[in-house]
Structure 1
Amino acid sequence: MRDLAALFGPFAAGGSGGGRGGSGSGGGSGGSGGGGGRGPQGPRAPQGQGGRKRSPLTITLFVLAVLVTVLTWLAGLWTDWLWFDSVGFRRVFTTVLTTRALLFVVGFVVVAGLVASSMAIAYRTRPIYVPTTPAQQVLEQYRQAIEPVRRLSMYVVPGILGLLAGSAASGQWQTFLMWRHGGDFGTKDPQFNLDAGFYVFDLPFFRFVLGFATIALALALAAALVTHYVYGGIQLPGRGPSTRTAFIHVGILGALLALVRAGVYWLDRYGLTTSEGRLITGITYTDANAVLPTKAILAVAAVMCAGMFLAAIWTRSWRIPIIGVALLVITSIVAGGIYPALVQSLRVRPSERALEAPFIQRNIEATRYAYGIDEIERTSYPAVTEAEAGQLRQDAATIPGIRLVDPNIVSPTFRQFESLRPYYAFPEILDVDRYNIEDEVADAVVAVREINLAGVPASQRNWVNDHTVYTHGYGFIGAYGNRRTGEGDPVFFSGGLRDDTGAGKFEPRIYFGELSPLYSVVGDSEGTQPREFDYPDDEGVGGNVLNTYDGEGGVALGGFLRKVAYALKYRELNFLLSEFVTSESKILDHRTPVERVERVAPWLTLDGNVYPAVVDGRIKWIVDGYTMSSRYPYSQLVDLQNATSDSVTERTNLISVGQGRINYVRNSVKATVDAYDGSVSLYAWDTEDPLLQAWDKAFPGALTPLSEMSGDLMSHVRYPQDLLKIQRLLLSQYHVTDAESFYTGQDFWAIPNDPTQPGQDQPTYYQSLAMPGQDSPSFSLTTTFIPTGSGREILRGFLAADADAGTTAGQKAESYGTLRLLELPRASAVDGPGQVQNQIEVSTERSQDPSEQLNLSQFIAQNRQSGRQLTFGNLLTLPVGGGLLYVQPMYVQSAREGGSFPQNKATIAVFGKEVAWGTTLNQALDGLFGGDAGASAGDEDVTPDPETDPGEPREGDPVALAQALADMEKAYADGEAALRAGDFAAYGEAQARLRDAINRAVQASPSELPEPVEPTDAAGEDAGTETDAP
């Protein structure tokens, strides 16, 4: 009983306690077995030899550093609370904070408590006397060396380990909340007959608990072993007996650790449902018949090992637990590794196809459900390849909507026509949406004109201008997707500085956007002179209109403490010193749409493509949110980044949906961010998703019911690109639903490379089309498939996701999200995108435009050799005319730097083996289908601009040309001078004169000039400060 009392005795303090190891003589642990007791006073720390005194300055600086660190942390915490309160998601902040704090405290207490108690028990129960052996004499030197810091280390070591453990535990807050609020999926796995919710919600938390317990007990055991050894409680074999209390202490910890390992082995059985194998994710024949039994055997062996640790308490020998650990290791090697390998080699491989078929079938069914591809509509599509006159007559509703404007190419064109000033910018990749313009729904390429501080002259860059003047962008720009001008430019239905355009009347200011500054200080007392730059206007003060923000968004900066908090957060004294930060000021921060949604819904994974839309009189950013898991049983794991990468994301470094591996996904939330006030709404889009239901319970009130979504917003919701990219990767294999055919892989497909960007997957494309069986075209997201491992690239599949959610408030269209797959026969003669691109580039077909004298390959070569930049646009595929029609715009851009922009100079159409092209798509289609396609394209009424048509010779006007060139030079010089002086009104006036001179120079130029539009490019180069905002 003395041993047990000593084991659980009070924490030793100071230098008091039992006798010192090595300070006694002979004796050993004798009849008492070395049992602990309070011994004589231990050695004292040397007196009169304190460390060098710290200077007051050093102490002061250290205290100040600690104080600033703590205050900065508190400032960040408080400003975060203020931000969440301002957007109406305070409960999200408090729930996450309290959950993380709870897990941190539990993790800290468990690890720090176990380690500290182990060290205290081992020290408290150290033997009174230890043998005087050479080993103990060496240890005595260590004991003497650590004695001055022993008491401190009893707190510091457990404290540091506790902090690390608490931090790790707090990072599992999502796992904890999922376990606490998760429910059932309604589907059971075929192996254990457990609901999928156990694997998604419960199993991850159980494994975390056991893993954490393993680490905690291992640290406690290590602390016990080290402390017992240093103070003589544990002796190496042949150097004396260990104390009984050491056997009790180590035996109990070892037994607990072994029991935890038994639990880990047992849970590993369920973890096999998401293990990755050579063929599939999930349990295979070897797993079911070899690994599962051995996991159970290992669990039993671990329990027996725990018993051997407890036996050491009575036998007072380390031999039994050592043997137990050795046997457990040997068992794990033999039963867990060698035996399954033998089963796989000797039993499975000779008959793998038959034996694995039932398990492959499980994987197929689970994968198709988990990725939402189980209810796909499949249609056999023989696809004719012969083009005949009138063949597109049945598709007369689809042909006019074919998109000619490539959103991945025309950003420089938007900048040229709509940037207005160098401090405005557009993203490199624009977005595709649809708008009802003059009672006709049309596909559109859209963007917003955002503020770009990099475009502000360096002489004008300062804190006041950066954070209180240039605060927001202005305007929504939209171009018809199916139209072009005679010169090949987009036709805009919304643009300029108007707030009443083809997109309707709306609030045009962009305070929250993808390019917004880090933060802005806005707002002021009523009646105060506005100072925020709003938009340029020659009739305004200094050529500009100014504005004062009056929106609901932002955090008020009225109190002194709030100003201090933000000064600490952003390390900026101007919050305290600037006259522009008043009692009525607000701060707008965390301004990008993705960041705002991530903060209020950290449990969502967001789509990489955020797009703006004019909704109910406001510009709103629409963000697609996903709930994902990597624990759905038997579903195939995929790498998220690899699945969502394509030629666009690689070329622009566009952020894709995320990283990691998943095997379940749902587009469960449609989020919006108001571009003016920053308000965030999270609409529950897929209410049947068990993951969304769990998060709704964890954060009640965070989600907005779908019934509250307006019809206007519903009309701009679309099927997300990243989701279809994930689904097409899985569908390339999992269109095969028979296990034996799946095993052979002979009918697997692949995603074709983008023919315009070799080596990268072709993107998915938004376009309006009618699939076979549809009465009218619908806004869709499309992709294609080719055979995998085939030397010849032919088309095997065409997939369209219905991306139109309808226009009814609170109710999405029944057809939304429907996946329709056209499957072409194996002997298909329809070429894939790569082959089609090759046909285009070597084609000798003459243009359908009579003014063009070159054939297609010559036209391509001439533009490339003349120094111009020729770019092939998106190669769209459409199921029309009983076959597959390919359409591709060609853009030509001057190679001259500054001011040049791409123009759609030709459009190509391919059907079967036939290639046709012309200045317009309408010309190309008529040429392709025997002179009459039977349907007209959206550019039917477009004719080439005679002023730039090289087929119509012009004599030119030398006098007018000379005057225009002189005016260009004068306007350019005036503009440069105004820009250096920071006079933007004068700069804008000079640019207007420059553009007028350019137009006059073009009209006066003879057609024999090597590049008729060169003066435009040259002037654009001069005006590059205005048009080429970064």
Structure 2
Amino acid sequence: MGVIVALVILFFVFAGLYADILWYQQLGFLNVLTTQWLAAGVMFFIGFLGMAVPLWLAIQLAYRLRPVYAKLNTQLDRYQQVIEPLRRLAMYGIPIVFGIFAGVSAGSRWQTVLLWLNGTPYGKTDAQFHLDIGFYLFALPFYRSLVGFASAVVIISLIATLATCYLYGSIRVSGREVRISKSARIQIAVTAALYLLLQAVSIWLDRFATVTDANVNDMINGAAYTDVNATIPGRAVLAGIAVFVAVLFIVTAFVGRWRFPIVGTALLIVAALVVGAIYPWIVQRFQVEPSQKTLETPYVQRGIDATRDAYGLSSIDVIPYNAKTTAEQGALRKDAQTTAQIRIIDPAVVSPSFRQLEQFRQYYAFPNNLAVDRYNIDGNDQDAVVAVRELQQSGLTSARNWYNDTVVYTHGYGLVAAYGNQRSTDGQPVFLESGIPSKGSLGTYEPRIYFGQQSPTYSIVGGPKDGKAVELDYPGGEGDAQQTYTTFDGNGGPKLDNIFKRLVYALKFQDEQIVLSDAVNSDSQILYDRDPIKRVQKVAPYLTLDSQAYPTVVDGRVKWVIDGYTTSDQFPYSHVGSLSDAIADTETPKPAYAFDDINYIRNSVKATVDAYDGSVTLYAWDDKDPVLKTWEKIFPTTVKPISDMSAQLMSHVRYPADLFKVQRSVLGQYHVTDAGSFYSREDAWTTPNDPVSAQSSPTLQPPYYLTMQMPGQTAPEFSLYTTFIPQASSEASRSVLKGYLSVDSNAGSTKGVRADSYGKLRLLTLPSSDTVPGPGQVQNSFNSDPSVSQQLNLLRQGKTDVINGNLLTLPVGGGLLYVQPVYVKSTGETSYPLLQKVLVAFGDKIAFEDTLDQALDVLFGGDSGATAGDTNVPTTGGTTPPSTGSGGGSGSTETNNAALQQALLDARAALTDRAAALKAGDWTAYGLADARLTKALQQALQAEGSTSTK
């Protein structure tokens, strides 16, 4: 029976391993799995043998060299009688048990070993020991782990030796007298000497670790004055003393006198206290603290320089910006290209609009936060809010069963994109790509979404039943068809072409239907692990991945783009920070990372996942990163060079938001490059809380993607920006703006060649005497303005909510312009936000109008000089605003007559809608219909006047 149980367990284990092999093999990354298994396996056996063999040898020597005729006391004699029947089992069992634990521990450190074996020089040295930084990134962690493991082996062997010697009489205690046999003395002394030698090596290596330890009251990381002048020399002295004491133990092994090593051990303990703790404390207390700023300044400067290098901040452009606070006529004329691209569609607000307008069926879904991308439309780059229409099986309700969930409802359909700077006449997004089947400005592409962030756990596809397609493609079709079906024809998952594979996956997913169902045949494929981030993480386990994957249409396919980071916490003198704390804001929950504290980060890899077949491609985005180079040696051929990236994909690559958040977190302190000023912390900044979501947790305002022209640029660029306010306890002091950070996020469109400007960080610093309001102060001004409050109260009448969109900040007009879209949403179940108003602010002046163009003109004295992009387009969703040009002759008269007729029709429709809204008590709909009626009547009067003059 036990054999059968063991075989069943082994088969379950084998099924899981074999499923992994099939998955990696199908994806083309089998070497990633086998390398991990081989490395972990080799390390397990090394750890097992490294612990078990010395421990077994120590026990065997102690037993075999025992005194044969030793006279034991009665208690020990009883112990021997009890243990003797189990002696052979214990002598082998104890080393095996300890060996297994050691092997598991060693196997988990396969990455540390492979990084050491394949380490790549960094090309720069640390400021204290002048060693290549690669030594700290790759070699030092391995050396310290190796010494720690060896120390554990020796100390356990020493304990086992003492226990065995005592049990079998090699060590006898009689009153105050301890007698040790010669053989036991030699074994114990040599083992103790070996342990002390290992401690000497450990203490010596600890000298190098001082350059990565927190210091200077946690202000910087790395060796400061006390470390350099007391701790490091002290550890060198301690290492020498440990070697000396080890020699005394060796001497004892031959001469038999324990007095010398005992005195030496006491000396080592006293030295550890005096040299390792008391002396550094004296230096810190009586030499450093009275003159701390003077003595620590060189080491603080080391920390500043190393931190800015480790976080990619060393080449940031700092631009003094004397921001104006007075809105003057025509002030935005030079920034007309920027104002034309201001994104008024908030990707964190309009998801319900996408669902209501583009969901079509309850089994489709969009994410809560949409992505921002850009597309070239008619020769112009256009910011767009994008999302894919993913499958959501929970919407099937009563139609759910194994067959439907697994075989029929297998994928989503299409990418939906809306102009970032346009809205329809009633406040809806204006789509440049929409519908089922997909149509719009993005051309022909494969619209089926088999791999996404909301995909089912697994689906079985590619095997038509009785020659007929069974996978629901989309609702509707040619003629009067209610539904259209398809068959997956890609290579997206392992094939279920034999009963053994079906049994393996039936065990993996605990589902017998995979074996029993007639819907599974030799052409079937099983798709699983379909989340793009999870797929990339499995094929590149060494990367820390961005929290957001975004979809884009590239080369006729929908592809997910994921940013991958190489990180470390071993960069000398660099500030250590929490990665999860830096990333968390009101749009990104605090992620959970296995290794959260870092002091080095690079966006080394751009990864794509094909939404149709799930294929993963890794591109070496930062091919100079030594950490990535090292991993490429470990997993060769898995990462492609950047030259393999298509021009179209290059045009959709953007600077990652998570990296930018980490950099802004560090820059709050490290924008100060003078050590004296840094030490005083007289100009520390922080990211402001999100004024729109002040009650949420976490509360930091997220960075935003915008197309804009920064000072120092000749044309607008797709950018990512954030703002800074003072880091102070007083709320009044925190309300002003101190810095504005942006990074060029447009990688260009040249195959294999990034734009030179990509990743360029620009920091606008405002003079300390300026009182430019920060986001919180501006939002407070919006909320407290009497005129704005009155209009918002009107919008809130009835069953409606007012939603403030993202508060954007733009450096235009010589100052800083704030723009915030305002949405109105009915409280009904099928309602969705409609963009109705736009708030703007410049200095202490604000405006609140129907369109951004109108608001800017009001703000800047009737003529802003701007060309706002929020032109209202017809509700029917055309992508081009109606022409406002006029002609002459009969054609013009016919046009005006047609305009008059259309205006009258619009007025009639608005009257009907207003009456219906009044009857239903929907005051939001009533207000919208009334506004349409007023506008239609104005257009009718204009058209009638134009016709009369002809």
TM-score normalised by the chain length of structure 1: 0.83
Which digits, 9 at most, give the CA deviation of each residue in 1:75-101, with x for residues without a partner? 222221221111111222222221111
Name the structure 2 match of 1:479.
418
Q: Following superposition of structure 1 onto structure 2, how do residues 821-832 of structure 1 map, counting pairs within 5 Å?
A: 821-832=763-774
Which residues of structure 1 form unaligned runs of 5+?
Answer: 1-59, 845-854, 946-997, 1018-1030
1:749 is aligned to 2:689: no
Q: Following superposition of structure 1 onto structure 2, how do residues 475-554 of structure 1 map, counting pairs within 5 Å?
A: 475-524=414-463, 528-537=467-476, 543-554=482-493
Name the structure 1 match of 2:505.
566
Name the structure 1 match of 2:394.
454
Q: Which amino acid aligns with 2:808?
A: L
Name the structure 1 match of 2:572.
633
Match of 1:939 among 870, 873, 876: 870
Q: Relative to structure 2, which stretch is displaced further, 532-541 or 772-781?
A: 532-541
Name the structure 1 match of 2:529.
590
Residues in 2 aligned to 1:216 and 1:590: alpha-carbon distance in whole angstroms:
40
Q: Relative to structure 2, which stretch is displaced further, 112-121 or 382-391?
A: 112-121
1:774 is aligned to 2:706: no
Q: Which amino acid aligns with 1:259?
A: L
Cα distance change, pair 557–943 in 1 and its aligned pair in 2 (3 A)? closer
Name the structure 2 match of 1:816.
758
Contact 1:783 1:799 in 2 (8 A): yes
Name the structure 1 match of 2:737.
795
Match of 2:328 among 388, 401, 407: 388
SS across alignment from 1:883: coil
By how many angstroms is 1:656 displaced?
7.2
By how many angstroms is 1:534 displaced?
1.2
Cα distance change, pair 489–64 in 1 and its aligned pair in 2 (3 A)? farther
SS across alignment from 1:901: coil
By how many angstroms is 1:756 displaced?
1.6
Q: Following superposition of structure 1 onto structure 2, how do residues 849-860 of structure 1 map, counting pairs within 5 Å?
A: 855-860=787-792
SS across alignment from 1:1005: helix
1:919 is aligned to 2:850: yes
Residues in 2 aligned to 1:119 and 1:304: alpha-carbon distance in whole angstroms:
27
Name the structure 1 match of 2:83.
146
Match of 1:1012 among 923, 927, 947: 923
By how many angstroms is 1:909 displaced?
0.3
Match of 1:713 among 649, 653, 674: 649
By how many angstroms is 1:500 displaced?
4.1
Name the structure 1 match of 2:723.
784
Which digits, 9 at most, give the CA deviation of each residue in 1:146-180, with x for residues without a partner? 33433223333222221221111112222112111
Which digits, 9 at most, give the CA deviation of each residue in 1:227-263, with x for residues without a partner? 2223332234635512222222222221111111111
Name the structure 1 match of 2:127.
190
Name the structure 1 match of 2:212.
274
By how many angstroms is 1:940 displaced?
3.3
Q: Which amino acid aligns with 1:99?
A: A
Cα distance change, pair 470–242 in 1 and its aligned pair in 2 (3 A)? same
Q: Which amino acid aligns with 1:486?
A: T
By how many angstroms is 1:889 displaced?
1.2
Q: Relative to structure 2, which stretch is displaced further, 666-675 or 172-181?
A: 172-181
Name the structure 2 match of 1:88.
28
Cα distance change, pair 365–446 in 1 and its aligned pair in 2 (3 A)? same
Q: Which amino acid aligns with 2:777?
A: Q
Contact 1:764 1:781 in 2 (8 A): yes
Cα distance change, pair 80–241 in 1 and its aligned pair in 2 (3 A)? same
1:869 is aligned to 2:807: no
Match of 2:226 among 286, 297, 300: 286
Contact 2:337 2:867 in 1 (8 A): no
Contact 2:464 2:487 in 1 (8 A): no
Which digits, 9 at most, give the CA deviation of each residue in 1:391-421, with x for residues without a partner? 1111111101101111112111111111111
Cα distance change, pair 571–158 in 1 and its aligned pair in 2 (3 A)? farther
Which digits, 9 at most, give the CA deviation of each residue in 1:799-830, with x for residues without a partner? 11000001111111111000011110001121
By how many angstroms is 1:583 displaced?
1.3
By how many angstroms is 1:666 displaced?
0.9
1:617 is aligned to 2:556: yes
Which digits, 9 at most, give the CA deviation of each residue in 1:337-376, with x for residues without a partner? 1211111110000111110111111111111111111111
Match of 1:250 among 179, 188, 191: 188
Q: Relative to structure 2, which stretch is displaced further, 614-623 or 105-114?
A: 105-114
Contact 2:563 2:603 in 1 (8 A): yes
Q: Which amino acid aligns with 1:274?
A: T
Contact 1:499 1:508 in 2 (8 A): yes
SS across alignment from 1:484: strand
By how many angstroms is 1:328 displaced?
2.5
Match of 1:664 among 600, 606, 611: 600
Q: Relative to structure 2, which stretch is displaced further, 226-235 or 369-378?
A: 226-235
Q: Which amino acid aligns with 2:628?
A: L
Match of 1:881 among 799, 804, 813: 813
Name the structure 1 match of 2:933.
none
Which digits, 9 at most, give the CA deviation of each residue in 1:783-807, with x for residues without a partner? 0111111632211111110000011
Which digits, 9 at most, give the CA deviation of each residue in 1:456-480, with x for residues without a partner? 21x3322222222221111101111
Residues in 1 aligned to 2:586 and 2:917: alpha-carbon distance in whole angstroms:
41
Which digits, 9 at most, give the CA deviation of each residue in 1:650-669, with x for residues without a partner? 3xx6x477741111111111
1:726 is aligned to 2:667: no
SS across alignment from 1:779: strand
Residues in 2 aligned to 1:240 and 1:187: alpha-carbon distance in whole angstroms:
57
Q: Which amino acid aligns with 1:225?
A: L
Contact 2:390 2:454 in 1 (8 A): yes
Q: Which amino acid aligns with 2:208?
A: Y
Residues in 2 aligned to 1:540 and 1:580: alpha-carbon distance in whole angstroms:
28
Name the structure 1 match of 2:147.
210
Q: Which amino acid aligns with 1:796?
A: K
Residues in 2 aligned to 1:933 and 1:344: alpha-carbon distance in whole angstroms:
60
Which digits, 9 at most, give the CA deviation of each residue in 1:538-568, with x for residues without a partner? 6589722111111022111112222222222
Residues in 2 aligned to 1:1000 and 1:498: alpha-carbon distance in whole angstroms:
34
Name the structure 2 match of 1:892.
824
SS across alignment from 2:250: helix
Match of 1:406 among 346, 353, 359: 346
Q: Relative to structure 2, which stretch is displaced further, 356-365 or 887-896?
A: 887-896
Contact 1:363 1:634 in 2 (8 A): yes
Identity %, equivalent residues: 47
Name the structure 2 match of 1:70.
10
Name the structure 1 match of 2:887.
none
By how many angstroms is 1:857 displaced?
1.6
Residues in 2 aligned to 1:462 and 1:1001: alpha-carbon distance in whole angstroms:
45
Cα distance change, pair 530–943 in 1 and its aligned pair in 2 (3 A)? closer
Residues in 1 aligned to 2:577 and 2:112: alpha-carbon distance in whole angstroms:
21
Name the structure 2 match of 1:263.
201
Contact 1:841 1:860 in 2 (8 A): no
Q: Which amino acid aligns with 1:152?
A: L
Q: Relative to structure 2, which stretch is displaced further, 928-937 or 323-332?
A: 323-332
Q: Which amino acid aligns with 1:726?
A: V
Contact 2:797 2:924 in 1 (8 A): no
SS across alignment from 1:561: helix
Cα distance change, pair 365–233 in 1 and its aligned pair in 2 (3 A)? same
Contact 1:920 1:942 in 2 (8 A): no
Cα distance change, pair 304–236 in 1 and its aligned pair in 2 (3 A)? farther
Match of 1:904 among 826, 831, 835: 835
Residues in 2 aligned to 1:82 and 1:751: alpha-carbon distance in whole angstroms:
46
Name the structure 2 match of 1:992.
none
Residues in 1 aligned to 2:234 and 2:687: alpha-carbon distance in whole angstroms:
40
1:835 is aligned to 2:777: yes
SS across alignment from 1:619: strand
How many corresponding residue pairs? 887
By how many angstroms is 1:496 displaced?
1.2
Residues in 1 aligned to 2:155 and 2:285: alpha-carbon distance in whole angstroms:
36
